[in-house]
Structure 1
Amino acid sequence: MTRLLVLGFILLAINNTIQFSVDKYSQCPEDRVKNRSMTLQLRKHLFCDYDNYVRPSLQQDNATKVYLELIPKFIEFDDHANTLVLHAWMALIWTDEHLSWNISKFGNLNSLQVSSDELWIPHLYVYNSGNLDREQYGIPKTDCVLHSSGRVACVPALKYTSHCIANYQHWPFDSHNCTLYLGSWSHTGEEIDYSFIHRGVIQMPDFTPNPQWKLLSISAQKKVERFEAMNYTFPRLVFNVVVERHSTFMQTTILAPAIVLIVLTMMVLWLNPMTSERMVLAALNLICHLLCIIDVNWQVPFNGDTLPSILVFHQNSLVIASVVLFLTALLRQLKQISIPAPVCLTSITSFILERKAGQFILLATLDPKNSTTLGTTDDNVGLIQSSATSSRINPESFNAWHHFATLLNRLSFIAVLLTYVIMISVLLPK
């Protein structure tokens, strides 16, 4: 019972407060208001029977013209939620035909400062809002200037959140085109006619740059959709915002490790497969690739349908590092084989090494015009008997397994180098 009484008193107090706020001017005695300032008398005259839910037009067939201008102050882009947050001022100007007065009757008072919640205001809504909070609907409470002609000027501070279709293929050098759709849910184009003050040109005085995102461009246009079934039009105000990520910091943390891994992989292939340094370096190279791809994986946004090219690059480079480690172990075994090689392998290796291209691959400085027979002490020695007309393999000094391994190592170096050149030109962000 006590709770019901307390609840009843609360409801009664709220009702009295609302009634007082609605009738605060109509309940004032006329003689009491006359003894006050012209401003108070004017407010009594204007708002005694004013209804801020009624569209401010004396003729309901006439559309209320609303002029607006968006003044961006700051932007935020959440690449994990794919949302753009636009902080801006919104200048709104319209004429309220119910709130005009004769300045000669009110001490030449030409303007009056009023609160926006006392006026009819054009409620603009974000159609593609990324945050269904109440702040996304209408305009927040602000001070407006009311002129004697009924012209109202309000400049509220707004915070609009919009969903964006992001593309991270060129991450971390990505740019995104986000669109804000503003309009009214309750008024048609025949009731409210929206127009831009500067014909869609966005003014940005005192714009504060974002340390992570650069505002490339912002444009505005008006689109009108007609519904033939109802013979109504619904105008939309479209704001296109293009932002680009500041990538200077990313060049150090993302691209520099990728270049170092390329150099490390090529260095492994250049070393002699028989040395223990190459095996150790190949294993460390694979570990560095794993750590790098894990680090990039933590930084890349996990959304969108496109896989970032830098992640594909690290994935392919990891595969190459694994192949290089396996190739190093294979070449060490091939060079240690003492049994005779198959005839086909010997023939293929001999055919390649008798050609200038094969000699160049092995970095041999052989001149066929010199009639010399080379010894058998290293990779390039004892392979060729040169004459003035041809070059022939010396079968007695020819170790097919050893030279096949050397040839395979050189060809792998060239193949990996060409692969990295293609990957850099295609996958690394520009």
Structure 2
Amino acid sequence: MISANVHLLFYIIFLISAHVKSGFTTTKMGPQPLWNATYTDKLRHDLLLNYDKFARPAQHFNKTTVQLGLEIRHVEFNEFKSMLTAFAWLRLVWNDEKLKWNTSDYGDINTLHIAEHEIWQPDIYLYNSAVSSPLNQYVNTHILVYPNGEVLWVPPVQLTVLCTVHLRYWPFDTQECNLVFGSWTYSGEQIDLAHYNNRTMVNLEMVVTNAEWDIAKAEQVRNVKKYDCCEEPYPDITIKLVLNRIPNAYKTIIITPAFVIITLTLLSFWLPPQASEKIIINGCTAIIICLFMLYFSQKLPLMGKEIPLVVLFYTSCLYIVCLSMIGSVVVITMSRTKHCSTLPWIIKQPLTGKFGKLLGLESYIYQSGNSSHRVTAEEMRDHQVTDFEDGNSSEDNHIIKSQLSATKPSLQRDWILLAAAIDRLSFCFYCFLFVILSIAYSL
């Protein structure tokens, strides 16, 4: 009897312990309750529980249409590297059939924020990128999902592309660059590209003012290409940008010194023929031009196919100043050298006539015409005869020598007149030359 009671007691204790252990295990291993759970938690759980972000959210025989748009904020252009960098907001819109829900079942939620890495995105790349950086590097940018399955992704992007640089009209140049977007692995039968909201113009309302470049035109064009390797079409969206350089600062830095260089070169021809300041002015002008050539070498790429017209203009000015300095040396030498021969009559007659007055040589003509009386051969013979007849020979010889010496200043003034005429003619020639250069390098 006692043994039966003991067995019964052990049996009851075993059942109680088994029941307690079973309850403890169920409580510990079962699903934990979600405290403060919201409709958003439930919606995310239902949408993403079995979601495969590596599979395109459509049947393989259907294509996904991706709308692409761009909103530019700022642009930078590097002439040395032939690269354009655009800071913008990229807009991508597509439809995901796996991300649809009934708003009444989830507390009327009409927008769901999902991290970029949680769902599928189209592999849209910048084809002509100068750096190997895909768009999916912006992992912290959330995506907006709507109940009808529409997905909106607006990642901020820094786009760097290679451009062909045209610097012939620098600093009044215009640069054209293209940004080509397309799918990297999907053909047009799987992913098709379209304009965002059917807009063919790029939004420029939020562009930050640039001190050097002005966006004159920005449009996007849809293209479809077929490659030799594949039969499928490959669509792309090409953003065409036209940039105009703002030349206000360069007008002060480059255009004004060019006017000063021309003025100094021409003013040197109006100095007196004997003035050595001609060489000083031409030397200073040559130094100024050389400094600007060094500035251009630092500002512009040296390996460009096109040489800017402004560089060619300064180079031509350096040649002109060099020729002007050679002419100044010739004029100074001609006017300062003591000449023994007279100026040829065929040259002197036009210079002392209307042609000389037309060149503005009146003062030099007047000085040449007011020279002292020259001693003729007859006067010299008369004085020689008088030397034997009179005893005042020494006094007469002194008079003859003084008259002979008076011919030397007159002879020198004639050559100074020729040097001044060369200066005036050079002034006219260089004025015509500078006008031709200005017209040629401004077109």
TM range (shorter): 0.7 to 0.9
CA–CA distance in 1 between the matches of 2:174 and 2:205? Answer: 23
**Conserved? CA contact 1:257–1:292, under 8 Å:** no
Describe the SS at the equivalent of 2:198.
Answer: coil
CA–CA distance in 1 between the matches of 2:160 and 2:278? Answer: 55
**Conserved? CA contact 1:93–1:154, under 8 Å:** yes
TM-score when normalising by structure 2: 0.77
- 428, 435, 438: which one pairs with 1:414? 428
**Conserved? CA contact 1:125–1:138, under 8 Å:** no
1:240 equivalent in structure 2: 240
Structure 1 residues 70 and 111, CA gap change in structure 2 (3 angstroms):
same
Q: CA deviation at 1:420?
A: 0.9
1:349 equivalent in structure 2: 347
1:154 equivalent in structure 2: 153
CA–CA distance in 1 between the matches of 2:109 and 2:30? Answer: 22
Higher mean C-alpha displacement, 280-289 vs 84-93: 280-289
**Contiguous gaps of at least 5 residues in structure 1:** 1-27, 366-374, 383-396
**Conserved? CA contact 2:361–2:420, under 8 Å:** no
The count of residues paired between Structure 1 and Structure 2 equals 374
CA–CA distance in 2 between the matches of 1:334 and 1:294? Answer: 36
2:44 equivalent in structure 1: 43
2:189 equivalent in structure 1: 190
Describe the SS at the equivalent of 1:205.
Answer: coil
2:199 equivalent in structure 1: 199
CA–CA distance in 2 between the matches of 1:152 and 1:109? Answer: 15
2:23 equivalent in structure 1: none
Q: CA deviation at 1:218?
A: 0.8
**Conserved? CA contact 2:71–2:206, under 8 Å:** no
1:285-296 superposed matches below 5 A: 285-296=285-296
Letter in 1 for 2:193: Y
Q: CA deviation at 1:139?
A: 5.9
Q: State the structure with more CA Rg.
A: 2
CA–CA distance in 2 between the matches of 1:414 and 1:379? Answer: 23
Q: CA deviation at 1:71?
A: 0.9
**Conserved? CA contact 1:71–1:89, under 8 Å:** yes
2:112 equivalent in structure 1: 112
CA–CA distance in 2 between the matches of 1:193 and 1:362? Answer: 79
Identity %: 27
CA–CA distance in 1 between the matches of 2:98 and 2:69? Answer: 24
Structure with the bigger percentage of helix? 2
CA–CA distance in 2 between the matches of 1:47 and 1:300? Answer: 54
Q: CA deviation at 1:401?
A: 4.4
Tell me how large the CA RMSD over aligned residues is: 2.9
Structure 1 residues 38 and 320, CA gap change in structure 2 (3 angstroms):
same
Structure 1 residues 125 and 377, CA gap change in structure 2 (3 angstroms):
same
**Conserved? CA contact 1:266–1:417, under 8 Å:** yes
2:273 equivalent in structure 1: 273
Per-residue CA deviation, residues 41-76 of structure 1 (Å, 9 max, x unaligned), is 22221112111111111x211110111221111111
Q: CA deviation at 1:178?
A: 1.0
Structure 1 residues 221 and 347, CA gap change in structure 2 (3 angstroms):
farther
**Contiguous gaps of at least 5 residues in structure 2:** 1-28, 372-409
Letter in 2 for 1:140: Y
1:19 equivalent in structure 2: none
1:281-430 superposed matches below 5 A: 281-335=281-335, 336-340=337-341, 346=344, 349-350=347-348, 352-353=350-351, 356-357=354-355, 359-364=357-362, 378=367, 401-428=415-442
CA–CA distance in 1 between the matches of 2:112 and 2:50? Answer: 17
**Conserved? CA contact 1:89–1:156, under 8 Å:** yes
**Conserved? CA contact 1:144–1:153, under 8 Å:** yes
1:140 equivalent in structure 2: 138
Describe the SS at the equivalent of 2:219.
Answer: strand
CA–CA distance in 1 between the matches of 2:369 and 2:64? Answer: 91
1:23 equivalent in structure 2: none
Structure 1 residues 300 and 337, CA gap change in structure 2 (3 angstroms):
farther
Describe the SS at the equivalent of 1:70.
Answer: strand
Higher mean C-alpha displacement, 316-325 vs 138-147: 138-147
**Conserved? CA contact 2:64–2:94, under 8 Å:** yes
**Conserved? CA contact 2:339–2:411, under 8 Å:** no
**Conserved? CA contact 1:361–1:407, under 8 Å:** yes
**Conserved? CA contact 1:165–1:178, under 8 Å:** yes
Letter in 1 for 2:41: L
